Amino acid sequence: MKTLSFLRQTVLFWIALAVCQAVSADEGMWLFNDLPRDYLKTKYGFEPTDEWTRHVMLSCVRFNSGGSASFISGTGLVLTNHHVGADTLHKISDARHNYLRDGFHAKTPAEEIKAPDLELNQLVAIEDVTERVGAAVTAEMSAAEAFAARRAVMSKIEKQSLDATGLRSDVVTLYGGARYHLYRYKKYTDVRLVWAPEAAVAAFGGDADNFEYPRYCLDVCLFRVYTDGKPVKIDHFLKLSPKNVVEGELIFMPGNPGSTQRIFTVAALKFQRDRYVPFVLNLLHRQEILYQQYALDGDEQRRQVRRDMLGVQNARKAYSGILHGLQDPACLAHKQAEEAALRAKVQSDPHLKPYADAWKTIEETQARRVKLLGKTASFAAKPYDIAQTLVFMAAEDQKPNSKRLREYRESARASLEQQLFSPAPIHADLERAKLADSLGFFVEQRGGDDPLARKVLDGKSPQARAAELIAGTKLIQIAERRRLAQGGRAAVDASTDPMIELAKLMEPEARRIREIEDELDELERQAYAQITSAVYAIKGTSTYPDATFTLRLAFGQVKGYVENGRIIPPWTTVGGAFEHEKKHGAKEPWKLPRRWNARRGKLNLETPFNFVSTADIIGGNSGSPVINRDAELVGVVFDGNIQSLTGRHYYSDQLARAVSVTSNVIVEALKKIYDAERLVEELAR
């Protein structure tokens, strides 16, 4: 029992660093090279072998567009969420084909559609490079110098690794800056859509049911990875479990959680509470109304803006939940008490005293971040994004690799170019509406008298200026982007494309803001590294780092909960989906696809549809496989319930739950609704 008690202490301490924490044990987004082996063994009697761990790691894939996934066949079939595939579903659609809304099914391999700009990453190795990175930075350096030195050594490590292995190589900053690991990925860029259901069942209940539970969503779709024009042959993939999940069952969710802020100090949380999150929500509300207004213009406009709309609705609901948690005084009070205790300990220990200023540093960076809020030097429209990339690339390419901004380093070039030259359609009307709004926002933030704002508008209203820019730019054509990228500095300097000229006008300000941000990041990195070291010194053990959109292992139990006295069962069924539809009068967004109602009689209505578990996940985990002890696939996570939204800052297993689609309902639907025998057979192999 000693181990457990010791672990409990550690966990409790880390819980305390998070806010408003109930005692809970299934917390954590663990590094694959540092799993909580003792805890899993003690609580669940489960010992992940190296073979198990490696198999799971190699079975996982990351969608660089923002999501997680897994291989589920030896011939490269990839399972993820419909809402992760949505970006591609949208990009391959046009005025006549609305795959995002209507779904897609390649009945033969030849019908599988190539995604225009998808990059999938399969993590193959992790190497600790903390010492190499640390050695580049000395105590005498200013924050700016330290940042430059760190950036240089990271670029060097990545370039060496790329040259040596041919693998995508990213140095990842962990524990807020206390550790640096090199992640090597196998990269797949020929990714084809195989099957997707209708949005009406993938996102059954729409925005209203998003982040709610009970749920009934078939939020999945299938891609296939190709190499050299053929389906990839792979050794590691997840087999579907034939069994239904059971209550209390231990499950794992390997995936790529995007971002958590559990290490944040009280000062940093207050900045989030009072400034950053309200600011983001204002922006999201504004964008949501903008997209709604655009959609009013007609069905095609509605289709064009659908992907942006879904993204902004999801973010709005997520940030609202985050703010609810931050504004709850009880939550912050807990965190405050814990931080005060830790700081007192650090103050009173002569060895730790050097770390005592770390909290003050973060308080100071927050005050500087307040001034930076809204001070963007960019515009939210795709053609501007392209122009800015071209202008920066031309300038960065003049520098040695180690001195470039991270996104322009050599080891990231292939990924950058895939995006830059993407053949995904650009809708001029939509981009004009977005650009006009973004220009207006820029002027609002700086005031209409700001010299740069005046230059940006060039004497016109934001609407007139946006119309002029979109009408005048040639960057919608891929050939022109290639010409400017290949022509480098000279071509960009010579270009009179109005969007390029706008990006050139903005470049100095964009760099000025970037420098401040980088400096603040560096100051915080150093401070959080000190806080982490202080915690190590006091508690003598490690835990999981905040999420970094890299592969982690979460775990937990399939488990219902009690909400306002109402028992919420651990899973829903196919029959429940039809009842849910009926309860809402079968009106949108609660209208199941016609096909579902037509084939209702063929379905096993008892099939579990969605289920909840205590695993600790966050945005980015979407599409993560849910596996059992035998590494069999029992589901795919696609959401958290509303109570889980505070997870950015603290974990709780009282009410917060991850929501997943069961493997069984996927097979049931493929067989009986979508006539996808080809895929069902492939999965059974």
Q: Which two tokens stand for residue 481?
A: 């982007």
Give the phi and the psi of residue 199 in degrees, each rounded to 5.
Answer: -60, -30
268 phi, psi to nearest 5 deg: -65, -40
Residue 165 CA to chain centroid, in angstroms? 27
At closest approach, how far in Å is the CB of 212 from its own copies?
10
d(CA 47, CA 634) in angstroms, rounded, equals 19
387/480 Cα distance (integer angstroms): 11
Instruction: Please say which residue, 187 or 324, places its beta carbon nearer to its own copies.
Output: 324
| Nearest-approach distance from CB 433 to its own copies, in angstroms | 12
Residue showing tokens 């050594």? 153
From residue 615, alpha-carbon distances to 12, 230, 326 in Å are 17, 36, 22
Q: Closest separation between CB of residue 353 and its own copies, Å?
A: 27
Q: How far apart (Å, rounded) are the C-alpha atoms in residues 674 and 670?
A: 5
Question: Between 278 and 488, whose beta carbon lies closer to its own copies?
Answer: 278
Instruction: Name residue 113's beta-bridge partners.
Output: 193
Is the distance from CB of 219 to CB of 638 less than 8 angstroms?
A: yes
Q: Report the SS3 class of residue 123.
A: strand
* Closest distance of CB 436 from its own copies, Å: 9
Task: Identify whether the C-beta of residue 250 lies closer than 8 Å to the C-beta of residue 631.
Answer: no
Which CB atom, from 27 or from 209, has the smaller least distance to its own copies?
A: 209
Q: What is d(CA 277, CA 565) in angstroms, rounded to the nearest whole number?
A: 31
Compute the least distance from the CB of residue 437 to its own copies, in Å: 10
Q: How far apart are CA 626 and CA 660, in angstroms?
A: 8
Residue 174 parent element (H or E): strand 168-174
Q: Which is nearer to its own copies, 253 or 502 (CB)?
A: 502
Residue spans of beta strands (DSSP E) within 509-599: 552-557, 561-563, 566-568, 571-573
> Collapsing DSSP states into helix, strand and coil, what is residue 122?
strand
CA angle 272, 273, 276 (to 5 degrees): 45
CA–CA separation, 441 vs 287, rounded Å? Answer: 11
The pair of structure tokens assigned to 288 is 């949501």
CA 428 to each of CA 431, 432, 466, 521: distance values in angstroms, whole numbers, following the listed order: 5, 6, 11, 36
Q: Which of 529, 425, 478 is nearest to 100 (CA)?
A: 425
Which is closer to its own copies, CB of 109 or CB of 206? 206
Least Å distance between CB 590 and its own copies?
Answer: 10
Nearest residue (CB) to its own copies, 332 versus 420: 332
Question: How would you class 185 by CB atoms within 10 Å of its CB: exposed for 0-12, middle for 13-18, buried for 19 or more?
Answer: buried
Q: What secondary structure does DSSP assign to 604-616, as a single string? A: -TTSEEEEEE---
Nearest residue to 86 via CA among 199, 226, 254: 199
Helix axes 478-494, 413-420, angle to 10 degrees: 110
Residues that bind its own copies (CB under 8 A): 207-208, 270, 273-274, 278, 281-282, 285-286, 288-289, 296-297, 316, 323-330, 332, 440, 443-444, 447-449, 454, 457, 459-464
Residue nearer to its own copies on the CB measure, 463 or 533: 463
Min separation Cβ 447 and its own copies, Å: 4
Amino acid of residue 586 = A
Q: Do 210 and 317 meet the contact criterion of CB atoms below 8 Å apart? A: yes
Residue 273 phi, psi dihedral angles, 5° rounding: -65, -45
Exposure string (b/e) for 439-474, b if CB count within 10 Å is 16 or more?
bbbbbeebeeeeeebeebbeeeebeebbbebbeebb
Minimal distance, residue 95 CB to its own copies, in Å: 15
**Residue at 467: amino acid letter:** A
CB 553 within 8 A of CB 254: yes
Report how far apart, in Å, the C-alpha atoms of 557 and of each of 393, 616, 658 are.
47, 11, 10
The minimum distance between CB 639 and its own copies, in angstroms, equals: 17
8 Å CB contact between 41 and 47:
yes
SS (H, E, C) 521-554: HHHHHHHHHHHHHHHHHHHCCCCCCCCCCCCEEE
Q: How far is the CB of 328 from its own copies (least distance, A)?
A: 4
Report in angstroms how near the CB of residue 439 gets to its own copies at its nearest.
9
Nearer to its own copies, 225 or 656 (CB): 656
Q: Given the complex with its own copies, which of 43 and 286 has the nearer CB atom?
A: 286
